[in-house]
Amino acid sequence: MPQKEAHPKGPTSRKRNRHKIQIVPLTPGYDEQGTHAESPEDRHIRLEGYQNLHHAIAQYPPPDRELLYLRYGFEGPPRTLTELAQARGCTPEAVRQKIDRLLKGLRTYLKRRELRENRKIQVALQLNQRKERR
């Protein structure tokens, strides 16, 4: 009885190829080859987003602000939940829950701010259209 030849890539190669991971450069504005790919408009949008985020975080009291800064590495390397819990004298789960609540508040604040800005733009456009009709 002849033996079947094994597939050169192995029996699980299909599964591995189906879920390829795309590697994204960590440095904003640079592509995979290390060349600068960010346009001035993209840079402006990115910087405006950072400003909006810092403005939103500034609305929190200092302990909450510090927690977000330490967790996500705004000032130095990012800290683990365990490290933050030890510094605060609580459990890592309590720190995780607190961070989740803070992030939910940030999302809500930023969405409302974006809606307000969009409304202002719409009103300005409508006013311009009225002026042009005259």
pLDDT tens-digit series, residues 77-92: 999 999 999 999 999 9
* Position 101 pLDDT exceeds 90: yes
- Residue 65 burial by Cβ neighbours in a 10 Å radius (0-12, 13-18, 19+): middle
pTM of the model: 0.60
pLDDT tens readout for residues 3-38: 555 545 444 444 444 444 444 444 555 555 555 567
Query: What's the rounded mean pLDDT across residues 116-122?
Result: 83
Q: How far apart are the C-alpha atoms of 128 and 59, rounded to whole Å? A: 34
* 1-32 burial: b if 16+ Cβ within 10 Å, else e: eeeeeeeeeeeeeeeeeeeeeeeeeeeeeeee
**pLDDT grade, residue 53 (50/70/90)?**
confident
Specify the CATH class of 62-115 in words: mainly alpha
Cβ atoms of 109 and 59 closer than 8 Å: yes
